[in-house]
Amino acid sequence: MGIVQKIFYFHVPSAYAMYIGATACFLGSVAYLLKPTDARDAFAHAGADVAIVFGAIVLVTGPLWAAKSWGYFWTWDPRITTSMLSWLIYVAYNVLRSFSGDGPGERRFAAALGILGAATLPIIHYSVQKWGGQHPVVVGNGGGGLKHPEMKLAFALGMIAFTFFSLALLWVRARLDIVKSRLARAEEDAIDLGLDDRTEA
């Protein structure tokens, strides 16, 4: 496939990084529903953002590869369709968090949506084995494999790089959310103190 094959080294690691973000969103959401804290909510929110970013890379690089392999950019293949569905769930999560406020009710509803998004991950993973489709299996049982050692090295480096990149984004995004929550609470406390001062005066 020539130069187009190089998309593989971005496409698959991006999908893996999307899984990392989705898993973080799931774990943070479950933890938040069990015991609500700003840190747990921030971890879930950060996971959704990471899933959106890397999911977008998957959905862009996949059609570019498909155009060369299949002759068209998009087909309603089981894995492609379920990947898009999962990505749209995390987009919905982010829209909800951005426009519905940041109260406990909104956070709980978002957590439930984060858990729903994670439920699609096994479906994406096993869709090729269960329903067939055109999506190739390159790595794993029945896959075409990476024949040349340099291909294996490039793939390993891509996986390592995208793993660290996704974890770094997850950490930074979660820390930002925690700081924003603390700042919002400090502003509320300052307003309450100001109102109390005026009332006493």
117-149 residue pLDDT tens = 888 888 876 766 665 555 555 555 555 556 668
What residue numbers bound the domain in which 10 lies?
2-200
Q: What is the CA radius of gyration of the chain?
A: 21
Instruction: Please give the Cα distance from 130 to 113 (Å, whole number).
Output: 25
- CA–CA distances in Å: residue 138 to residues 1, 71, 115, 146: 14, 19, 29, 7
Mean per-residue pLDDT, 171-184: 89
**What average pLDDT score do residues 41-58 get?**
94
Report pLDDT for 130.
64
> pLDDT value at position 127?
65
The yes-or-no verdict on residue 190 having pLDDT over 70 is yes
pLDDT per residue as tens digits for the range 23-41: 999 999 999 999 999 899 9
Is residue 38 within 8 Å of 178, Cβ to Cβ? Answer: yes
How open is the CA angle 89-90-92, to the nearest 5 degrees? 65
- Provide the pLDDT for residue 104: 83
Q: Tell whether the torsion through CA atoms of 28, 29, 30 and 35 is positive or negative.
A: positive
Task: Indicate the number of domains in the chain.
Answer: 1
pTM for the model: 0.81
